[in-house]
Amino acid sequence: MNQYDESQIQVLEGLEAVRRRPGMYIGSTSIRGLHHLVYEIVDNAIDEAMAGKCHRIEVTLHPDGSVSVQDDGRGIPAGIHPKMGIPTLEVVYTILHAGGKFDGEGYKFSGGLHGVGASVVNALSEWVELDNCYDGRRYTERFERGAVARAFRCEGETDRHGLYVRFKPDATIFEETVFEYDTLLARLREQAFLNGGVNISIRDERCMPDAEGNPTEPRENDLLYEGGVRSFVEHLGNAKKAEVIHPDIIYMRAEREDYVAEVAMQYNDTYNETLLTFANNIHTIEGGTHEVGFKNALTRVLNEYARKNGILKDADKNLSGEDVREGLCAVVSVKLTEAQFEGQTKGKLGNADMRQFVDKLVYTKLSEYLEENPSAGKIILEKALAASRAREAARKARELTRRKNPLEGSTLPGKLADCQERRTELTELFLVEGDSAGGTAKEGRDPRFQAILPLRGKVLNVEKSRLDKVYGNASLIPIIQALGCGIGEEFDMEKLRYGKIIIMADADVDGSHIRILLLTFFFRHMRRLIDEGHIFLAQPPLYRVHKGKKEYYAFTEAERDAYMEQLGQGAEANRYKGLGEMNADQLRDTTMDPNYRTILRVTLEDAIECDQMFSILMGDRVEPRREFIEANAKFAENLDV
C-alpha cells in the first residue's frame, strides 16, 4: 500500500468540489441533473416574482445546445462586494453559499436557501454569459468551467432591468446534454400556476427534425394563469379526463406577516387522489407539515359535517382520511419566510407552525363552503361513504385471505419458487407471465438469489377498481404475499423481501398489456417501490439469428439485420413469440443472468404526467383513450397484428 500521510489530505477550493462531485449538488449527471441546471436559474427569477419585482420570464433553447433565461426583475447588485472585494455578480456565480436570501431582507419568500444554485450552474457549464441590467446600467461577464473568462464590465446606461443568463452544459460532466422541451415545459407550467399573473414562456429554436428528417418550425409556449392554483386544479382535472362531481373549484387563502397559504380542491369520479403540495414554489414530494394540516382538517370537517347532517349515525365509524380523499384533486401552496426543509433536496417541509396554519384555514373555509353549498357537500359525502364501504369490504376480504393464506407471517404463495438469500438488497423476484414461462424461468434461474412467481389468471386493472377488488384478484394476491410489504396505508418498506422486482412478460401485445396492468398496480398501491427504484422490466430478445453452430440474440430488428449480414447466406432468424418458446439456458443467458441481461429500471420523471396517463389509458372512460390512440397511433411500432 502507498504511504498515507498528511500530504494526501486534499482541500478542494472554489468550484472544484462541484465539478468533482456534481451529484452532491444536482442529484445526478443524467438528463434529470441536466434539467436541474435550468430549474436553478429559473427558480432565481421566480424568487424575484415572489418579491413582486418580476412579471415575465423567458426560457430559450438555442441551436448550439445552450439555454438562456431572461427575467425582468431587479437584476443583481453591481457594486464591489464589501467582504470579498470582487464584483457582487461574480460573487454570486463563483462562490458557494453566496446569495441574498439568508436574512430575509432582500427576499421575503424564497425557494433558494443555500446560495449554491447559480454557482453550481456556472461550475458545471462549458461557459456562462451574463447580461445584468441593474439600477439603470448594464453589466456583462463570461465564465468558462467556473472561471472568469471575460472580466466584469459596465456596458453603459440602459432603461431595461433584469438578468439574462445563457449557459452551455459541460459535455465532459453530463451523460446527456440535449434538453427535453416537454420536460422543461411541464416544470415551467407548474411555476406559472403557482405564481398567478407571472408570464413564463419557453421557446425551442433548435428546429429538431421530425420523423421524416424534415426541419421543424420553432416551438413555443406562452404560460400565464391569472387563476393561479385554481387554474392548476382545473388543468389537472382536464389532463386526467375525469368527470368532476361538483362544478366549482373550492378555493381557500389565508395570509399573515410571515405566512401565506393557498388551497384549491375539487372532487372527480375516479378512485385515486391527486394531492400536490408546494412550499415557496418547491414541489414537496414527501409532503410535510402543510400537507398534514390539510389532511387533518379535511377529514375532521367532513366527519363533523356528516354527523351534523345525519349522514353518519352515532353508531357509525368515522370516515378515514383515505375515504375522504378518494377522487380528490387538490393543490396546497404555502409561502413562508423561514422555510425549513429536510435536506438539500427540499422534499419535505418541517415548519411546525405551518401545520396549524393550514389546518385552521381549511377547517374554517371548508366548513363555510359546505354550509353554503349543501348539494356539493352531499355528493362529496356520498363518494366518501362509498369509499368507506369498499374499504370495509377490503378489510374483510383481507382478513379472509389471511385466514386462508396469511398476507403476513411465514406463509408464501404456493407457486413461488423462493431463493436462498435473505438479504433484501441482494435478491430478485421475477414476475413471469404464465406457468409455461414460469417453469422455464425456474429451471434457468440462479436459486441462490433469484425467486420466480408465475402469474395466474387475469391481472386486475386497479385503475377501475377499489381496494376490495384487489384483495379478490388471484393474480395480485400472490404478489402482495410474496413481497411482504403490504399495500396502501398498510405499506411498510421495511418488510420488503426482494430488492429487485422484475416484470418478465412476452415481447408482444399481450405481454405489453400485462406489464402496464402490473405497473398500474404498483403505481397506485405500492408507489414507493417505483420511487425508490425497485421495479424493473426484463428485456427478452425478439430474435434468435443462427447459421450452423453460430447463434446470436437480437433485441431489435436492426440488430437482427446486422447479424444476418454478418453470418451471410444461409442465416436464419424464428422470432420469439413467447418466453415459453425458449429453453431454460437460452432464457438464462439472454434475460436473467446479471452478467449478460438488459433490464430497464422503471422511474418517475414526472409523477403528475404519469398519474394523468394512467387515468386516461387505464380508466373507465373510453373517449379520452380513443383520442389518445388517434393522436399517437403514428408513433406505434412492432404491432402484433
Percent of the chain with pLDDT over 70: 88
For residue 578, is it within any domain? no
Last residue of a domain, one of 179, 194, 223: 223
Numbers of helices and strands, H then E, in the chain: 20, 20
Query: On the CB side of 259, how many CA atoms lie within 13 Å of its CA?
Result: 16
For residue 587, is it within any domain? no
* Number of folded domains that form the chain: 3
Same domain, 301 and 217: no
Alpha carbon distance 49, 198 (integer Å): 7
pLDDT at 113: 45
pLDDT at 109 over 70: no
Same domain, 347 and 437: no
Mean pLDDT of the region 270-291: 92
Same domain, 74 and 198: yes
Residues 419, 390: contact at Cβ < 8 Å? no
Last residue of a domain, one of 223, 242, 262: 223
Same domain, 182 and 133: yes
pLDDT at 573: 86
Same domain, 454 and 377: no
Residue that wins the pLDDT comparison between 627 and 53: 53
For residue 565, is it within any domain? no
Same domain, 211 and 136: yes
For residue 187, is it within any domain? yes
CA distances from 64 to 147, 204, 221 (A): 21, 12, 20
pLDDT at 184 over 70: yes
pLDDT at 636: 62
Q: What is the CATH number of the domain that holds 131?
A: 3.30.565.10
Confidence of residue 638 (pLDDT cuts 50, 70, 90): low
Q: What is the CATH number of the domain that holds 470?
A: 3.40.50.670
For residue 319, is it within any domain? yes
The dihedrals phi and psi of 394, each to the nearest 5 degrees, come to -65, -40
Same domain, 300 and 446: no
Same domain, 512 and 619: yes
For residue 32, is it within any domain? yes
Interval 471-494: pLDDT, tens = 878 889 899 989 999 887 788 999
Look up residue 313 and give its amino acid: K
Mean pLDDT, the chain, as a whole number?
A: 86
pLDDT at 57 over 80: yes
Same domain, 144 and 219: yes
Last residue of a domain, one of 393, 421, 452: 393
Inter-axis angle of helices 509-525 and 607-618, nearest 10? 120
Mean pLDDT of the region 310-324: 91
Q: What is the CATH number of the domain that holds 265?
A: 3.30.230.10
Confidence of residue 408 (pLDDT cuts 50, 70, 90): very low
Residues known to be catalytic: 433, 506, 508, 510
For residue 285, is it within any domain? yes
Residues 249, 265: contact at Cβ < 8 Å? yes
Residue that wins the pLDDT comparison between 197 and 208: 197
Same domain, 193 and 249: no
Same domain, 520 and 612: yes
C-alpha cell at 66: 445552450
pLDDT at 549: 84
Print the domain residue range for 603. Answer: 409-540+599-635
For residue 584, is it within any domain? no
Same domain, 168 and 314: no
